[in-house]
Amino acid sequence: MTSAPDAAAPPAIELRGITKRFPGVVANRDVHLSVARGEVHALVGENGAGKSTLMKTLYGMHVPEEGTISVDGEVVTLRSPGDAIGHGIGMVHQHFMLADNFTVLENVVLGSEPHRGPRLDVAESRRRILEISDRYGLGLRPDAVVEDLSVADRQRVEIAKVLFRGARVLILDEPTAVLVPQEVDALFANLAELRREGLSVVFVSHKLDEVRAVADRITVLRRGTTVGTVDADEVTSRQLAELMVGSELPVAERAASTVTDEVALAVHGLAVERGGRRVLDDVSFEVHRGEVVGFAGVEGNGQSELVEALLGVLAPTAGTVELGGEDITRTSTLRRRGAGMAFVPEDRHRQALLLEAPLWENRLLGHQGSAPAGGRFLVHPRAAREQTARIMAEWDVRAPGVEVRAGALSGGNQQKLVIGREMEAQPKVLVAAHPTRGVDVGAQSSIWGRLRDARAEGLATVLVSADLDELIGLSDVLHVMLRGRLVATLDPRDVTPEVLGTYMTGAATGDAGTTTEEDRR
């Protein structure tokens, strides 16, 4: 435990003795956190440890019961994000808070619009946004509608929004969960730039290597309270993990192939159009029983459309999808799910959860038609409650009970609930986007383990992920997507994240250096 880089100046942010209770839960208990000017400070801890709660407190989204917040040595009261912004604090949320039907420009300026008198100064807004975009390489298109953006794009919009306000303290709650390595590097380069300019950054992440690489100091949170603060150069990832959970750092190790001959899912020449443009073009691949097929690609290259087309939410303009030999191109989502397809979406809040409904109702969602909790006509709340309790136990979903609103769970626990729900149905085909997004290291290794077990029992998996270690570690074959096309097929056994990255950005092309299907069997 060391002191802040510049001990003389008051810390940019100091939280002292923060306690925040939710009904029945102490999310933060006597938390201390001190962030110096020009420091990148990481916050780590397992799911539900209270990281987001602490960050929201700092951003004025709720008022703590106890404790004080000081900005530049002065005690302040933050009753609303407005107050926090007023004190130069900005936040990028774990679950984005963007107005979907607004443009990038509108979202960025929202709340602190440049204006001349009462009039909105659009030209000035555009100028400043593009300036920020260029300076930090965010690649923003001011007139794109946020709804149409990929998750990574949205992330950049959120970051731009904070920078736009000239925040002196940036809070980033799991900013890298959905970024591919190149994007993570770019982001960290940005952070370094900011730090040089004297800004302070507080960021939350579950990726411990990353944390060590970028942070100056790291504060560990466990069960709502601070365990300690360490210097990033003096700690190993393993030590960090032990501080957090008391267990070892998991590794995505390859397991023996369980691929069978039996084709579970076959896709031929799939194409999807949006706004007159092909966002998915001539995509063909097969997934066998016991096989994990991974899809790598920079966000915005058609992975979302692929997942949604497989699920039947998006109608393809060409091509076919066969499930277990049966053409399901035109069947409904319901039928597909009934035929054994499961789905973990990239955005759990939008596509997987009823935030205002209790956990047991969320357990029913997507499975309302099948026994034991659902049925043709009736649903069985009691069975749903029992099942929810089982999922919570088996997948380590930490929540006080099955009657809790899904919205009250921490992000990682929501993710575990979604995965648990989908896996408990014992699907034949799993379509998963970022399955471990936002879960802590312990839970991540247990989810990986379970995915491997299911694969050994014959599960066919379509895996989309921004975590290249996860992709390489879990997949039996890897496809690279670029501009809606499959541009390369790689063998995960002899590919490194760096190599994969070059394919994803289009720097390398073709199937060079990869093995064929036959080779792998």
Ligand X SMILES: Nc1ncnc2c1ncn2[C@@H]1O[C@H](COP(=O)(O)OP(=O)(O)OP(=O)(O)O)[C@@H](O)[C@H]1O
Residues 30-89 within binding reach of another protein (CB under 8 A): 46, 48-50, 61, 80-82, 84-86
**Is residue 473 involved in binding ligand X (CB under 6 A)?**
no
Tell me, letter by letter, the H, E, C secondary structure of 291-353.
CEEEEECCCCCCHHHHHHHHHCCCCCCEEEEEECCEECCCCCHHHHHHCCEEEECCCHHHHCC
Tell me, letter by letter, the H, E, C secondary structure of 47-87.
CCCCHHHHHHHHCCCCCCCEEEEEECCEEECCCCHHHHHHC
CB 142 within 8 A of CB 128: no
Q: Which is nearer to ligand X, 133 or 301 (CB)?
A: 301
Q: Give min distance, CB of 256 to Mg ion, in A.
A: 32
Q: Give min distance, CB of 46 to ligand X, in A.
A: 7
CA 312, 317, 320, 326 dihedral sign is positive
**Is residue 304 involved in binding Mg ion (CB under 5 A)?**
yes
**Is residue 437 involved in binding another protein (CB under 8 A)?**
no
Pairing of strands 217-222, 119-120: unpaired
Q: Which residue has the tokens 């035109």?
A: 330
4: left (phi over 0), alpha (psi -120 to 50) or beta: beta
DSSP track, 467-480: -HHHHHHH-SEEEE
Among 34, 57, 94, 200, binds ligand X (CB under 6 A): 94
Q: In what order do the strands lie in the sheet with 326-327?
A: 277-288, 263-274, 318-323, 326-327
Q: Which two tokens stand for residue 335?
A: 């039928």
CB 91 within 8 A of CB 162: yes
Q: Which is nearer to ligand X, 259 or 433 (CB)?
A: 433
**Is residue 60 involved in binding ligand X (CB under 6 A)?**
no
Q: Which is nearer to another protein, 364 or 463 (CB)?
A: 364
**CB atoms < 10 A from the CB of 276, how many?**
5
Among 1, 256, 261, 275, binds another protein (CB under 8 A): 275
- Work out the angle at residue 211's Cα, subtended by the Cα atoms of residues 205 and 214, and round it to the nearest 5 degrees: 125
In the region spanning residues 337 to 356, those forming contacts with ligand X, defined by CB under 6 A, are 346
Which residues are bridge partners to 292 per DSSP? Answer: 461
**Is residue 301 involved in binding Mg ion (CB under 5 A)?**
no
**Is residue 411 involved in binding Mg ion (CB under 5 A)?**
yes
Q: Give min distance, CB of 285 to ligand X, in A.
A: 16
Q: Give min distance, CB of 30 to another protein, in A.
A: 13
**Is residue 420 involved in binding ligand X (CB under 6 A)?**
no
CB 407 within 8 A of CB 56: no
**Is residue 445 involved in binding Mg ion (CB under 5 A)?**
no
252 binds, among ligand X, Mg ion, another protein, none (CB under 5 to 8 A by kind): none
Among 150, 320, 333, 351, binds Mg ion (CB under 5 A): 150
**Is residue 283 involved in binding ligand X (CB under 6 A)?**
no
149 binds, among another protein, ligand X, Mg ion, none (CB under 5 to 8 A by kind): ligand X
For residue 382, the surrounding DSSP H or E stretch is helix 381-394
Among 228, 246, 269, 338, binds another protein (CB under 8 A): 338
* Buried b / exposed e along 188-198 (16+ C-beta atoms within 10 A): bebbeebbeee
**Is residue 450 involved in binding another protein (CB under 8 A)?**
no
**Is residue 150 involved in binding ligand X (CB under 6 A)?**
yes
99 binds, among another protein, Mg ion, ligand X, none (CB under 5 to 8 A by kind): another protein
Which residues are bridge partners to 384 per DSSP? Answer: none
Mark 374-403 with x for binding to ligand X (rule: CB under 6 A) and - for no binding.
-------------------------x----
Among 223, 268, 428, 450, binds another protein (CB under 8 A): 223
Number of shown-chain residues binding ligand X (CB under 6 A)? 39
**Is residue 340 involved in binding another protein (CB under 8 A)?**
no
Q: Give min distance, CB of 495 to another protein, in A.
A: 23
Q: Which two tokens stand for residue 290?
A: 């016991």
Among 52, 103, 155, 176, binds Mg ion (CB under 5 A): 52
Q: Give min distance, CB of 375 to ligand X, in A.
A: 30
**Is residue 487 involved in binding another protein (CB under 8 A)?**
no
CA distance 54 to 61: 10
CA distance 368 to 165: 45
One-letter amino acid for residue 123 of the chain = A
Q: Which is nearer to Mg ion, 410 or 444 (CB)?
A: 410
In the region spanning residues 13 to 42, those forming contacts with ligand X, defined by CB under 6 A, are 22, 25, 27
Among 8, 197, 325, 377, binds another protein (CB under 8 A): 377
In the region spanning residues 383 to 412, those forming contacts with another protein, defined by CB under 8 A, are 385, 389-390, 392-393, 396-404
Q: Which two tokens stand for residue 209?
A: 């290597």
Q: Give min distance, CB of 118 to ligand X, in A.
A: 33
3-state secondary structure of 511: coil
Query: Which residues of the chain form contacts with Mg ion (CB under 5 A)?
Result: 52, 94, 150, 304, 410-411
Query: Which residues of the chain form contacts with ligand X (CB under 6 A)?
Result: 22, 25, 27, 45, 47-53, 94, 144, 148-152, 274-275, 279, 297, 299-305, 346, 399, 408-413, 438, 440
